[in-house]
Amino acid sequence: MTATAPGTAGTDAEAARAFASRYGRDKRSDKQLKTAGAVLGVLLLVLVGWLGWSYIAGQKLSAQ
């Protein structure tokens, strides 16, 4: 909520501009966090896959 002088009412444009300036940075931060989370998630999947593959490849399989 923006502060206004008593007896004056803010316009919808002023309210929208205040909202955008207050919360615009948060949207950008959210997008950066989503991107960072996606990248870290993919890296984790690759790491688990690589460790699993190297573990299985190092095992001797016997059908006896």
pTM (two decimals)? 0.53
Q: Domain spans of the chain?
A: 9-62
**Apex 38 CA angle, 28 and 29, nearest 5:** 15
Structural Rg of the chain based on CA atoms: 27
What is the tens place of the pLDDT at every residue in 2-54? 555 555 556 777 766 666 556 566 777 888 999 999 999 999 999 999 999 99
Identify the residue with better confidence: 58 or 20: 58
**Residue ranges of the alpha helices (H) in 1-64?**
12-57
